[in-house]
Amino acid sequence: MKVKAHFSSRCLHFFSTCFYFSVHTNMLIAVAAMAQCALSYLIFKSAISYPIILLEGSATLLLYNFSLYLAKPADPMRSPYKRTRWVFSHLPIMYLFSALAAIIFFYSFLNIGWTSRFFLAFTGLCSFSYSFPLYKQEGRWVGLRQLPTAKIFHIAAVWVLSSVCLPYVDLYSQGIIVDPYLLGTLMLLKFLFLLICTLPFDIRDLKQDSYYHLKTIPTLLGANKAKRLCYLLLITHSIALIFTSYGFAIQGGLWLTNLFIFGLLKGVIFKSQAHYHYAYLLDFAMIVQYALVFFISFFYG
């Protein structure tokens, strides 16, 4: 019994270490972006473009790492957040990953068409627009950050552009036409799915956003109503899948993912606010979604 307990403890420690490392280095979110992009090709019933997938992952890693560098506090080692302390005490690792991502990005960028390049540039501008001053409010220029509830919708919209529209543009440039109904339903469902995966982060950051006077959905509705909204969105997404033309194999994988997310929300993420990093399990769920759809489609599609 002691040997089993020791083995289980070592396994748990190993997986926990891998999970936190992937979160701190932004590798988890980068792989999640690649998985979501690959899922679009799968739903479009087209061969995966690996330069596009690599471009998606490397661009995501660079963007998230860059945002971390910009947000560096005066004394990172005194930050209340474990992730901030880890990142700035392991900068050589972060720089190495960023350098590798930059090499992969430029290699992939050179191996895609001009149409995809222009669309990628447009998506990048949309992504950075969140922090840029775009309009005047009370006599000063502010960005989308100050627009009530804009954060979650902006993130979801950018991810739809990069993980759904970019593969579509890539296929279109090759002369492959995707059914407009299939494209439209995927964009809407992806947007809804990303709201589900993003809202718990806003709930987690409720105190921090309130301190900075950011009007997010949880700061306006309160934590409990925001949690109920999350479940409502999950139910809506599950029902909406019935009206798609994906086929049972893909629908089954997406339904199983929703069940997995429900379990995460109910049993882990919303159960305790003490564990700051549990919300990142939703990034892992985006990878699980692709894996489930891929394997079910492979065996039963």
What is the separation of C-alpha 186 from the centre of its chain, rounded to a whole number of angstroms? 16
Phi, then psi, of 272 in degrees rounded to 5:
-145, 130
Contact (Cβ atoms closer than 8 angstroms) between residue 179 and residue 148: no
How high does pLDDT run on average in the chain? 88
The pLDDT value given to residue 254:
97
d(CA 222, CA 11): 38
The pLDDT value given to residue 143:
64
Give pTM, 2 decimals: 0.91
Phi, then psi, of 273 in degrees rounded to 5:
-90, -5
Tokens of 269: 């993420």
How sure is the predictor about 5, in pLDDT bands with cuts at 50, 70 and 90? Answer: low
Contact (Cβ atoms closer than 8 angstroms) between residue 140 and residue 175: no
pLDDT digits (tens, 9 = 90+) for 287-297: 999 999 999 99
| 116-125, 215-224, 274-283: which is most confident | 116-125
pLDDT digits (tens, 9 = 90+) for 192-203: 999 999 999 988
d(CA 172, CA 191): 21
Lowest mean pLDDT among 148-157, 225-234, 239-248: 148-157
From its phi and psi, is residue 149 left (phi > 0), alpha (psi between -120 and 50) or beta? left
Tokens of 99: 């350098």
Lowest mean pLDDT among 40-49, 58-67, 126-135: 126-135
pLDDT at 156 over 90: yes
The pLDDT value given to residue 76:
81
DSSP 7-39: HHHHHHHHHHHHHHHHHHTTHHHHHHHHHHHHH
Single-letter amino acid code for the residue at 181: Y
Contact (Cβ atoms closer than 8 angstroms) between residue 127 and residue 63: yes
Tokens of 196: 């589900």
Contact (Cβ atoms closer than 8 angstroms) between residue 258 and residue 237: yes
Strand, helix or coil for residue 75:
coil
The pLDDT value given to residue 145:
64
Check residue 176 and report its DSSP letter.
P
Enclosing H/E stretch for 141: strand 140-142
CATH placement of domain 2-300? 1.10.600
Residue given tokens 């000063």 in the structure block: 140
pLDDT digits (tens, 9 = 90+) for 90-121: 899 999 999 999 999 999 999 999 999 999 99
Dihedral sign computed on CA atoms, order 116, 62, 197, 247? positive
Tokens of 260: 């997995």
DSSP 234-250: HHHHHHHGGGSSS-HHH
Query: Apex CA 281: angle with CA 275 and CA 285, to 5°?
Result: 165
pLDDT at 39 over 60: yes
**More confident of the two residues 67 and 147:** 67
- Report how many helices (DSSP H) and strands (DSSP E) the chain contains, helices first: 14, 2
The pLDDT value given to residue 204:
86
Strand, helix or coil for residue 63:
helix
Q: Please state the domain extents for the chain.
A: 2-300
